[in-house]
Structure 1
Amino acid sequence: MILVGCDLHTRKQQVALLNTDTGELWDQQLTHAGDDVERFYAALAPPVTVGIESTGYSLWFHALLQRLGHTLLVGEAAKIRAMVVRKTKTDRRDAQHLRELLKDDRFPLVWIPDPTTRDLRALIKHRLRLVRIRTMVKNGLHAIALNQRLALGPSLWSRQGLAQLQALVLLPHTRRRRDDSLDLLQWLNRHIAELDLHVATAAAADPDARRLMTHPGVGPLTALATVLVLGPVGRFPGSKHVVSYIGLAPTVNASADKCRLGHISKQGSALLRWVLGQAAPLATRGDADLKRVYFAVLRRRDRPKAKVALARRLLVRLYVMRRDQIDYDEFCRRGRARRGGLELARTPV
């Protein structure tokens, strides 16, 4: 068996190899220009296990090793770096360190989604970027309208509001900015609507997403994003790990008898945090428990913290629904049964 520690970069990679049958060690640097990488890995006799750190722009490398039949392991970069004692850092040392972790069976694995999941993630990310661009365009048009004393708020996007915006008498460059922005806004609305149809189709085809959509305020986008980002929920020991994985857990600074909770860590999927932040206020309209939690936090804190607390509570609910394979009605029934049991236990005999 051949173990390969690979320090992967954009234009080159440093590899450190070990033949476990003969004990032979060797190092080599490969450039990504040409077919050097393909010829090198094709010449290795199977079985071959390659270990790399989690990094971006590496999908081509994943596809190459899958095509050659080699095993690719991806490790958590922060944990790999924390295992290094020496402060001297070079590509060769990094590759050798990865090789040693593979040899000693200490390689800190991370979950890697399959190509279909990555492609669906690209769909949601693409929609998110177009929505953000649309927000920028709308803000620019609002600024033009306000500078002309046209303060309509959201009504600016109605048919009458757009007619008033187009009727404004503006200087040449400002007029061109308005006209181009309106054309761009129309293009964005059309393409976002098309992406919404694709998201709805993908969510309807996934049984987990359909189950999550039974929760109030959770539509195809939120359900599909939750399924795609979390992946197999069996890899999480509990809900606290899910909250930490998404980056909604507070940072902790504890020493001796002092413990201070800070802002949320944001070490996780920014996509899912944004989606949950959009869905959580909608969920309060159909769920009395979430509404009570929101206003309880709002009285003690401010609106942003209440929104984050609501998103965290919604994430835990969706995780439980996926873990137990239940819909919203069953989730509520279990909650009522649990509360009834607690009240019965507190009743004095």
Structure 2
Amino acid sequence: MDVYIGLDVSLASTAICAVSAQGKIVKETTAASEPETLVATLKAMPGEVIAVGLEAGPLSQWLYRFLNDAGFATVLMETRQVKGALKAMPIKTDRRDAEGIARLLQMGWFRSVHCKSMSAQEMRALLSARKAVQQATINLELSIRGVLRNFGLKMGRVAKGRFEARVRKLAEGNPMLEAAANPILASRQALRQELAGLEKVLRDHAKEDPVCRTLMTMPGVGTLIALTVKAAIDDPERFRSSKDIGPWVGLTPRREQSGERDIVGQISRAGDVGLRTALYQAATVMLHCGRKTWLTAWALTVAKRRGKKRATVALARRIGVVLHRMWKDGTAFRFAREDAVEVTPA
């Protein structure tokens, strides 16, 4: 008997449901969310396991590797689609979610998600750490500004290097304000040092990575954007065409068509938020700074017809397409249109 197994993974335990090829529930159980326990439980299932499905999530990629290594055909399922399907159930429990995932797998009504390599996950961890430290620094700066503002003391615009001196000058003569500002400033200084250390690690890695060096030949693409693109795409061969990058990263319009109604809306915002943000930043820099290229000229033409904001989004999408082609072909960015490999925008 062929069985399809759905896993609903949580931090402590995993709900497991096995259904037959005819959709009949064969067995339901739970197990600890540990690879060894899950592998042992799945091996004890009746019948032949055709596939194991689990929703993409924090623990999914870790478990995916162990299940694959144990010989199970494992599928990471796209979160939005699974969530949409499971919403139809009137009662939501882990057991029912596992059943729903198993039925989606059995019917073939799912979209699989790429499991990132270990190196890509490690790089994303570094990028996430940098973002967390940077945000913590910003929060401290906003906090001290708010404290001073309550006393009518306005920081105004100040360079990062002169921030601490400005705070101390405003708080001078008020022992309570000085006592409040000192720990915040000390914490800010420590965070800035850690941020500088993280950024040095990222810069060194980008300099040593041939793919990042290739991507950084495009104007507007620096260390962080190159590393973000590389970690997000991971394997350029998994895309049949460079034009698939646009929809995958959520930079193409939504469309809702029914009968005589056909609405083209805003971008879908599907996929990796960090990558979408990085591409938008690259587009903004390319439009305003540095050497002009054939991409800049194209975006300015779009801006005349559709407005600057839409042109920036369109340029971000096209930058993603061109970066993928550069990576796949191993070629540096070509500034002139006649020298560039033609890539039709998505």
Give the alignment's TM-score, normalised by structure 1.
0.77
Gaps of 5+ in 2: none
CA contact (8 A) 2:293 2:336 kept: no
Q: Deviations over 1:3-60 (max 9, x none)?
A: 432233333333233689xxx9731321428985464246569977422122333355
What residue is the counterpart of 1:318 in the other structure?
323
Do 2:7 and 2:17's aligned partners in 1 also have CA atoms closer than 8 Å? yes
Q: Does the CA contact (< 8 Å) of 2:9 and 2:59 recur in 1?
A: no
Distance 1:243 1:62, change over 3 A: same
1:29 has 2:29 as partner = yes
Question: 2:113 matched to 1:110?
Answer: yes
Q: Partner of 1:346 in structure 2?
A: none
- Say yes or no: does 1:12 pair with 2:6: no
Q: 1:19 to 1:202 in 2, by over 3 A?
A: farther
Q: CA deviation at 1:120?
A: 1.2
Distance 2:25 2:18 in 1: 6
Range moving further from structure 2, 308-317 or 92-101: 92-101
From 198, 210, 234, give the equivalent of 2:237. 234
Distance 1:170 1:254 in 2: 66
Q: Deviations over 1:158-186 (max 9, x none)?
A: 34x64343222264443334323322222
Could you tell me which runs of 5 or more consecutive residues in structure 1 were left unpaired when the two chains were aligned.
Answer: 340-349
Q: Answer yes or no: is 1:327 the counterpart of 2:327.
A: no
Aligned-CA RMSD value:
3.8
Shift of 1:316: 2.3
**Residue identity in the other structure for 1:16:** C
Between the aligned partners of 2:88 and 2:300, the Cα distance in structure 1 is 51
8 Å contact from structure 2 (residues 39, 70) kept in 1: no
Change (3 A) 1:184 1:82: closer
Secondary structure of the structure 2 residue equivalent to 1:167? helix
- Opposite residue 7 of structure 2, the aligned amino acid is C
Deviation of the 1:234 alpha carbon = 2.9
* Letter of the structure 2 residue corresponding to residue 112 of structure 1: C
2:132 is aligned, of 129, 132, 139, to 129
C-alpha contact (below 8 Å) 2:17/2:95 kept by paired residues: yes
Q: How does 1:194-343 map to 2 (within 5 A)?
A: 194-284=197-287, 285-293=290-298, 295-296=300-301, 304-329=309-334, 332-335=337-340
Alignment of 1:35-184 (within 5 A): 37=38, 39-41=40-42, 43=44, 49-62=51-64, 64-66=66-68, 68-80=70-82, 87-88=89-90, 91-103=94-106, 108-143=111-146, 147-151=152-156, 153-155=157-159, 157-159=160-162, 162-168=164-170, 169=172, 171-184=174-187
Q: Aligned-pair distance for 1:310? A: 3.3
CA 1:295–1:185: 2 relative to 1, 3 Å: farther
CA drift of 1:230 comes to 1.6
Match of 1:189 in 2: 192
Aligned with 1:278: secondary structure?
helix
Answer whether contact 1:30 1:36 (CA < 8 A) is retained.
Answer: no
